[in-house]
Structure formats: structure tokens, C-alpha cells
Amino acid sequence: MSQPTPEVYEQGKGMDAHNQVMREIRSRKEKSYDPHQPTRVWLDEDNTPGGVKRSLTIILNTGGCRWARAGGCTMCGYVAESVDGGSVPHGALMDQIQVCLDHEADNADEPAPLIKIYTSGSFLDEREVGADSRRAIAETFGDRERIVLESLPDFVDREKLADFTQYGLQTDVAVGLETATDRVRRDCVNKYFDFEDFEDACAEAVAADAAARDGAADGVALDGASTDDGVADATEVDSDNATGGAGIKAYLLMKPPFLTESEALEDMVDSVERCLAVEGCHTVSMNPCNVQRYTMVDELFFHDGYRPPWLWSVAAVLERTADVDGIVVSDPVGHGTDRGAHNCGECDDLVQKAIKDFDLRQDPTVFEQVSCECEATWEAVLDLETGFNQPLTR
């Protein structure tokens, strides 16, 4: 990438100008949403530090990400699905949780051990989910094994995490870091924080984890009552399911706008390695960029200025980072479509299947089972595409 002059970051330029444009794009939203209904809910399987777990994923319908309302990220259109007015009352949020529990009861033989809660913003931001709602949700799922909560790093706080760890829940915060490279995050994604803030969030998770384990070691049972002899069993303290702990799951964006395919691939490999080198971060979820409505990426895509990443690039990152100390997964949304990560159309489903297999087994040899003539085109794109001629293909 070329180096900008300092003037582009002055008031009225850079991030300020982008946010002004994004507010205009987002104002085109017309649809309204019911605050008593979640945005989405589904059952699946996920790889966790405790093994592969059945999961219940919940997308809560809140007032939306506060950063998105200011302008927000170049690729994120989720705020367009949020409730009008900027907030959802406690009762309505709990109605959404009940809808999700009913969905689980109707479609699963038993409760899922893993709960994943997203707001398309920050669950730990009390403007989106108030403290009373957060604590009520923690109590609702206190009998599960693990919970994932979505949040930007500045809202990650050890006391908020304690609302969940006190029940024995392994609590992971999914942080939308996007990239470990500050300049790419700022100029390509339009996110306001630095990698240092991600490290601070990891430190908060580590502190919450230590506090939870110290509490268990002191003989505090999961419901807050002391054990009979005042001392917790040592084997229980070490067990993931015996005492709540906390950690970070970094969400990275594969191929934000304004990067070539090769730049995006190299930045992603570097970002995976840097994230998992930070204490407290145990998992990286690599999310290939997809084209969402009411975003700058959508504007670029419409004018032939952006192509989502090749699935071959996603596979290459997973192969090259297979030996890192941690879990690396990817779930390409809209794979095989023009607006999602795709190859030529003939091999997309096979490569996606290999990616899903890798997510569960972490075995890079799965990619040796898939091949296609379009790999040659992808390799040519890596060699020839530059910032001045991208995208070379659609």
C-alpha cells in the first residue's frame, strides 16, 4: 500500500469524511424490525478449546453498534437490521432469548453446551445490552458449559465477565479485530482502535480467568456457596467445566477493501500469528469479507471496484497457520456467490466442505483432496494484481 501524507488524517478528511459518506449510505435503509424477535437463531457445531461442541447461535436484535451509527466499518451492514430508536428494553431482549430457547427445544434433543450471542455490535456495551439484561442472560445460560459474547475491545471488563464466570461458564469474548495491522484496520476497515487495545482486552480476560479460578480454589462453589470442607477439589479446578474461566476469540476480516488478493492473504497470515501470540487469545475466526447492503464495500462492488476473496486464499491461510498454538477456523458467508468468497463456481462447494472439515479437525491435509483448474487463475491473480488494477477477475 502507498503511504499517505499526514494531511489525509486532518479534520474533515480520512475517517471523518468516510463516516459522513457511510451515514448517508445507511440512511437509505427502509425496513423496520420487531424488538421482541431475534435477528437470527440457529443450531450448529463449533470447535472450542474444550473440543467440538454443539452450539446455539443467537443474533440479538438491539439498537445496533454505536460505531456503526457514527459511520462505521466499510464492510458491515448489520446495523441496517437493528431496531429503530437506538435501544431495546429489558423485557423485549428477554423475549428474544425465550424465542431462541423455544427454537432450541423444538429442534434439538437436549440443550447445547455452547451458547454464542452476537448483537452485530457489542454485547458488553451497556447502551446495547443493559447491565440487568446482561445478568439475566448470564443466569439463563448459567447451566451450560461455554458462552461466546461479541464485543469491541474497549467494553471488555473483568467485572462484566464475572457475571458469567460466576456460574461456571467458560466465557469467551469475540472481538472484531479484523486485522493485526493498525493501518489496514484504520484505512481499509475504518475501525477506531489499535492492536494495543486488543491486547488490553486480552489482559482483562486473563484477569477474569484468574479471578474465577482463584475463587474456585478458595472453595467457592459455582452458585456462590462454600464446599463442605471449604476447599475445592484440585481436579475440578483444572477442569474447563468445573469452574468458569475467560478468554478471547479474535475475529479477523479476510480481504477488506483496497487490498489486493496477495496483500490480503499475507496480512491475514501475519494477523493470525500475532493474535495467537497474545496471552488470553486462544481462537481466531477468519471471516472472508462478503458484500453487504448499505456499506462502502457494496458501493465499490457495484462499480466493479471490489471482489470478495478467493476460497483458495482462505484455504491457503488455514494451511499456512495450521501449526500455530491455538485454533483457527473460518466460515465463509455466502460462499460460491458473487457477493461471498468464491472460486470459479465449479469447485466452490468442495472447497467450502474442506474448510468446514478443517474447522472441526484442524487437519490441513483436507485441502489436498480438492483441486480445480481455476487454481491457476488464482495464482495469476496473486502474482499480477496490484492496487491500481484490482480486481483482475470477478
Q: What DSSP letter does each residue of 305-335 carry, written as one string?
A: ---PPPHHHHHHHHHHTTTSSSEEEE--TTT
Domain count along the chain: 1
- Per-residue pLDDT, 66: 84
The phi, psi pair for 332, rounded to 5°, reads -60, 115
Is residue 175 in a domain? Answer: yes
Residue showing cell 457511510: 22
Cβ distance 289 to 337 under 8 Å? no
Is residue 343 in a domain? Answer: yes
Is residue 7 in a domain? Answer: no
Residue 339 CB contacts under 8 Å (≥ 6 apart), including other chains: 290, 291, 292, 301, 308
Comparing 82 with 129, which gets the higher pLDDT?
129
Mean pLDDT for the stretch of residues 42-71: 91
Q: Is the pLDDT of residue 234 over 60?
A: no
Residue showing cell 478449546: 49
The phi, psi pair for 51, rounded to 5°, reads 105, 180
Is residue 124 in a domain? Answer: yes
Peptide bond connecting 288 to the previous residue in cis, omega within 30 degrees of 0: no
- Per-residue pLDDT, 16: 77
Is residue 10 in a domain? Answer: no
Helix or strand holding residue 346 (H, E):
none
High-pLDDT (> 90) share of the chain, % = 74
- Per-residue pLDDT, 225: 39
Mean pLDDT for the stretch of residues 313-329: 97
**Dihedral sign from CA coordinates of 271, 272, 278, 280:** positive
Residue 374 CB contacts under 8 Å (≥ 6 apart), including other chains: 312, 343, 344, 346, 347
In tens, the pLDDT along 154-204 reads: 999 999 999 999 999 999 999 999 999 999 999 999 999 999 999 999 999
Is residue 275 in a domain? Answer: yes
Q: Which three cell numbers stand for residue 240?
A: 474447563
Peptide bond connecting 256 to the previous residue in cis, omega within 30 degrees of 0: no
Specify the pTM: 0.87
Is residue 5 in a domain? Answer: no
- Per-residue pLDDT, 235: 33
Q: What CATH code is carried by the domain that includes residue 262?
A: 3.20.20.70
Q: Which three cell numbers stand for residue 314?
A: 482462505
Helices (H) and strands (E) in the chain, counts: 13, 8
Comparing 234 with 312, which gets the higher pLDDT?
312
Q: Which domain holds residue 351?
A: 19-384
Q: Which three cell numbers stand for residue 383?
A: 502474482
Is residue 101 in a domain? Answer: yes
- Mean model confidence pLDDT for the chain: 88
Give CA–CA dist 284/322, Å, rounded. Answer: 12
Q: Is 68 left (phi over 0), alpha (psi -120 to 50) or beta?
A: alpha
